[in-house]
Amino acid sequence: MASQFVTTVLMMVVIFQTSVDAECKEVARSNDELAQSLPAGSAIQKRAAIDHPDCGQRPLAGTADGSEPFTVGAKEATPNSWPWTCSLQRFGSHICGGSLIKNKEGDYFFLTAAHCVSDSDFNAGSYLVRCGIHNLQSSAEPYEEFLDLKDLTRHPSYSSSTFRNDIAIMSLNSNPTETDGLFAVCLPASNAETDDGEYWYTGWGVFYPGGSPLTPVLNEVTMQIVSDDICDGTYGSFFYAPTMVCVSMYGTGGHAACQGISGSPLVAFRNGGWELVGVASWGYDCTQTANPGVYTDVYQMESWINSVIN
């Protein structure tokens, strides 16, 4: 009797599992058909094509998969198309850029360069993060959110004299509302120097010598990772390869911006989503195209980042 009962139960489990598998396949097929039937530019279809469902999405980008073609020099970005790029402001004025990231539980943090916040005694009330914006001079934009800061964690080995480990994370008083124009970037799955893919810098700054004090609209620049030897030859011992990335503008050389870029993200399109590769840190004499920019290597900092946010 007992063996007959066990056999009956096992048959029921097999039948149930077969039914569940069939239903799951039908749902997946229906979802695929739905995504394919949507307009090519729809945000839902763009999300369906991305392997990173919780980060690195660009629903408002000009391409269906969120990728971006190479360009030479800085250009105005499509509004709200880089939804993790934010402005760090002190007493209402832009001082640095930065990126929204989030932990495994979905809590948001703001990542920037450590030298952007030089206060020895950090006063959160003096700063705020302005996200979901395109034009800094606009009084209100559809995706805009002001994020209040709670605390600051600089890398414990940050040096203000050498800019080594130039990275900091700020916790927020509350999570922002995720929208097509406000979303987190992914942390990197591999080293910045392991591939020859496209890299993009986004931020607000002075992009040409003798330019205006600050471009009010978000700009984007195609960048390339260059040999550490180039930064060694330009900056000598100030360039520290274990935690820094040597970067120059695609097609023209130079380090993309003369002022206002610190903390801003360098990102790469990988595995169907955008990953944070570098944090703008320093450079010398932007009038010289031979002088590359130096970014903090986020991949080398990832263990520390996870220890802070998780």
Residue-level pLDDT at 249:
83
Looking up tokens 């700063």, which residue turns up?
127
d(CA 128, CA 111): 13
Q: What are phi and psi of 15, to 5 degrees?
A: -65, -45
> Quick check: 280 and 207 in contact, CB under 8 A?
no
Number of neighbouring beta carbons within 10 Å of residue 239: 22
> Quick check: 88 and 129 in contact, CB under 8 A?
yes
What's the pLDDT tens digit per position in 98-148? Answer: 999 999 999 999 999 999 997 677 889 899 999 999 999 998 899 999 999
* Residue 147, amino acid: L
How many residues does the structure list for the chain? 310
What's the pLDDT tens digit per position in 223-266? Answer: 889 889 989 999 999 999 999 999 988 776 666 566 778 999 99
Q: What are phi and psi of 192, to 5 degrees?
A: -60, -30
> Tokens at residue 266, please?
């360098």
Residue-level pLDDT at 20:
33
> Quick check: 227 and 288 in contact, CB under 8 A?
no
> Quick check: 253 and 73 in contact, CB under 8 A?
no
| Residue 151: pLDDT band with limits 50, 70, 90 | very high
Residue-level pLDDT at 295:
95
* Residue 205, amino acid: G
User: Would you please indicate which residues are annotated as catalytic (active-site) residues?
Assistant: 115, 166, 262
Residue-level pLDDT at 270:
86
d(CA 19, CA 214): 61
58-90: b (≥16 Cβ within 10 Å) or e: bbbbeeeebebeeeeebeebbbbbbbbbbbbbe
Q: Is the pTM of this model over 0.85?
A: no
> Quick check: 147 and 124 in contact, CB under 8 A?
no
Could you give the percent of the chain with pLDDT greater than 70? 71
Could you give the percent of the chain with pLDDT greater than 90? 54
